């Protein structure tokens, strides 16, 4: 069997040290030498890196059966009942069941249409908060505000309550706990590179992250407990939210759902959704403040479509091609998940004349695909125009551009993300003009990325809202 080629590594550590602080960049450089299907050894774990649209398509589409499962990171495994998650379980009947329920009750066009008023209300609360900063002339951290707005949107879809103070003053605990989990889960962890060392938890990641997991599970316990009590009484207690659906499922004969296993599923939705939304909004605004022409064009489109005295609604998004192009271009340059989520080979599979052995980890370097000069003209420049009049979108059909992944494990939140991030972006651009704080110019705005569970801006973007 011929393994894909790759760099020679050190004894024990393998190629771990060659990853550096920005693994998507270093692996992209290595792929130039070793090819679009490359083997690296990360500690004791053999990992295959796919870095071309062709190899990504082979893995995610032509052999999606063999690459349908994921390895579970040690930090995720530290929460109670980790087998209840959606993102980190093998693609078996339980995974299918969870995807079906999420798809049918959260992400269909019909359910998204029904929740329009929630999204609208959450965006109005965000705008009211920004207005206060505008009146005071103080800057806002736009990524963090978008993150909080998303958590409340999700918590209303799931539980019919706000988990973050909609005025962004108090009740930030939920937000901080989710943030802390993302920070901990995003740190390189020796237990994942040397599974034999797991039980020693040498960096204390498992112990540390478990505290946040337990606190969030406690918050969920309280909400679920209240709902169960109400359901047991005679009152009319249906809220029509996702928790109702999950509790109904728990009651079915032979159900693989229980009150314990729905908590990791709910948490997955908060973690997967919140950070990606926050990061996409923040990068889009950073790029626009570096490209005053694009910012002007976006505001002009909004004024023409919405008129001078209106409000952006989610039904307007289809009529805002330039805003949509800004989001697409942002996700091309700043994919929240540069390697998507990891896969594990369920079988020996032949790809491009090489064998990927059963049990190998597989990473798709989607960051590298969406900057490859073979497929993109002037790939490092921010040019939303490249998406205007083009059929290219992020639905996983074109393998040079897969910020939401592709194949059977493509992001289920894509339809919500499409509506919500476009709505937030359009609303904040329509209601305010924006400028950088004193001393920061479009040329010296720091765009350094920080690798964690997502690729965030290392220095949070702080910008000043204005009303003309």
Which of 337, 345, 424, 463 touches ligand HEM (CB under 6 A)? 337
Q: Identify the three-state secondary structure at position 159.
A: coil
Member of 19, 48, 86, 426 binding ligand HEM (CB under 6 A): 86
User: Are 453 and 275 spatial neighbours (Cβ–Cβ below 8 Å)?
Assistant: yes
Among 210, 409, 419, 457, binds ligand HEM (CB under 6 A): 409
The reply to whether 181 sits near ligand HEM by the rule CB under 6 A is: no
Q: Which is nearer to ligand HEM, 69 or 189 (CB)?
A: 69
Of 417, 424, 461, 463, the one binding ligand HEM (CB under 6 A) is 417
Structure tokens at 277: 């939304």
Alpha helices in 291-375 (DSSP H): 292-306, 321-333, 366-369
Cβ burial 85-95 (10 Å sphere, 16+ → b, else e): bbbbbebeebb
Residue 416 binds to ligand HEM (criterion: CB under 6 A): yes
Residues 278-317 that bind ligand HEM (CB under 6 A): 280
Provide φ and ψ at 306, rounded to 5°.
-90, -25
User: Which CB, 217 or 409, lies closer to ligand HEM?
Assistant: 409
Q: Out of 194, 277, 387, 401, name the contact with ligand HEM by CB under 6 A.
A: 277
Of the pair 70, 129, the CB lying nearest ligand HEM is at: 70
Segment near ligand HEM (CB under 6 A); pick from 121-129, 187-195, 235-243, 416-424: 416-424
Span from 8-16, 193-201, 222-230, 335-343 in contact with ligand HEM (CB under 6 A): 335-343
Nearest C-alpha neighbor of 275 from the set 154, 406, 98: 154
Cα–Cα dist 460/140, whole Å: 10
Strand duo 45-50 + 37-42: pairing: antiparallel
When asked if residue 3 is in the footprint of ligand HEM (CB under 6 A), the reply is no
Token pair recorded at residue 215:
């606190």
Binding residues for heme: 411
Residue among 99 and 131 whose Cβ is closer to ligand HEM? 99
Q: Are strands 455-457 and 449-451 parallel, antiparallel or unpaired?
A: antiparallel
Nearer to ligand HEM, 53 or 403 (CB): 403
Alpha-carbon distance 230 to 238, whole Å? Answer: 9
Q: How far apart are CA 27 and CA 4, in angstroms?
A: 14
DSSP code, position 43? T
* 3-class secondary-structure state, position 274: helix
Indicate whether 411 belongs to the interface with ligand HEM (CB under 6 A). yes
CA 15/CA 6 separation, integer angstroms: 10
Q: With CB under 6 A as the contact rule, which of the stretches 111-119, 123-131, 182-190, 271-279 interacts with ligand HEM?
A: 271-279
Q: Does 455 bind ligand HEM (CB under 6 A)?
A: no
Burial 45-80 (b: 16+ CB within 10 A, else e): bbbbbbbbbebbbbbbeebbebbbbbbbbbbbbbbe
Q: Does 336 bind ligand HEM (CB under 6 A)?
A: yes
C-beta of 161: minimal distance to ligand HEM in Å? 16
* Site for ligand HEM, rule CB under 6 A: 86-87, 99, 154, 268-269, 272-273, 276-277, 280, 331, 336-337, 340-341, 403-406, 409-413, 416-417, 421
């Amino acid at each position: 069997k011929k393994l894909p080629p790759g760099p020679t590594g050190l004894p024990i550590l393998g190629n771990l040290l060659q990853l550096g602080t920005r693994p998507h960049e270093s692996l992209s450089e290595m792929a130039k030498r070793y090819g679009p299907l490359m083997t690296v050894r990360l500690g004791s774990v053999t990992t295959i890196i796919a870095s071309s649209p062709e190899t990504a398509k082979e893995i995610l589409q032509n052999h999606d059966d063999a690459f349908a499962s994921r390895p579970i990171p040690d930090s995720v495994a530290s929460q109670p009942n980790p087998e209840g998650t959606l993102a980190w379980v093998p693609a078996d009947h339980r995974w299918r069941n969870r995807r079906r329920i999420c798809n049918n009750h959260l992400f269909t066009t019909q359910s998204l249409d029904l929740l329009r008023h929630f999204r609208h209300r959450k965006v109005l609360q965000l705008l009211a908060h920004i207005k206060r900063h505008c009146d005071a002339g103080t800057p806002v951290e736009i990524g963090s505000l978008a993150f909080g707005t998303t958590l409340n949107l999700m918590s209303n879809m799931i539980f019919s309550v706000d988990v973050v103070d909609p005025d962004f003053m108090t009740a930030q605990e939920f937000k901080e706990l989710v943030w802390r989990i993302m920070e901990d889960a995003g740190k390189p962890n020796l237990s994942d590179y040397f599974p034999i060392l797991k039980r020693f938890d040498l960096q204390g990641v498992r112990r540390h992250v478990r505290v946040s997991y337990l606190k969030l599970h406690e918050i969920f316990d309280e909400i679920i407990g209240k709902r169960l009590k109400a359901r047991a009484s005679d009152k009319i207690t249906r809220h029509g939210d996702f928790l109702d659906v999950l509790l109904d499922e728990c009651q079915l004969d032979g159900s693989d759902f229980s009150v314990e296993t729905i908590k990791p599923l709910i948490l997955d939705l908060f973690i997967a959704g919140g950070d990606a939304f926050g990061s996409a909004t923040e990068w889009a605004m950073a790029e626009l403040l570096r490209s005053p022409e694009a910012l002007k064009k976006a505001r002009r489109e909004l004024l023409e479509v919405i008129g001078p005295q209106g409000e952006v609604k989610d039904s307007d998004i289809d009529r805002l091609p330039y805003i949509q192009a800004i989001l697409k271009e942002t996700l091309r340059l700043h994919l929240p998940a540069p390697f998507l989520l990891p896969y594990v080979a369920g079988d020996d599979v032949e790809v491009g004349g090489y064998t990927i052995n059963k049990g190998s980890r597989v990473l798709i370097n989607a960051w590298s695909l969406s900057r490859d000069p073979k497929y993109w003209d002037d790939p490092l420049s921010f040019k939303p125009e490249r998406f205007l009049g083009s059929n290219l979108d992020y639905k996983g059909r074109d393998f040079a551009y897969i910020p939401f992944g592709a194949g059977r494990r493509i992001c289920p939140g894509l339809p919500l993300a499409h509506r919500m991030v476009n709505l937030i972006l359009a609303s904040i651009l329509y209601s305010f003009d924006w400028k950088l704080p004193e001393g920061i110019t479009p040329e010296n705005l720091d765009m350094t990325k920080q690798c964690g569970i997502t690729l965030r801006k290392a220095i949070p973007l702080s910008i000043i809202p204005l009303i003309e």
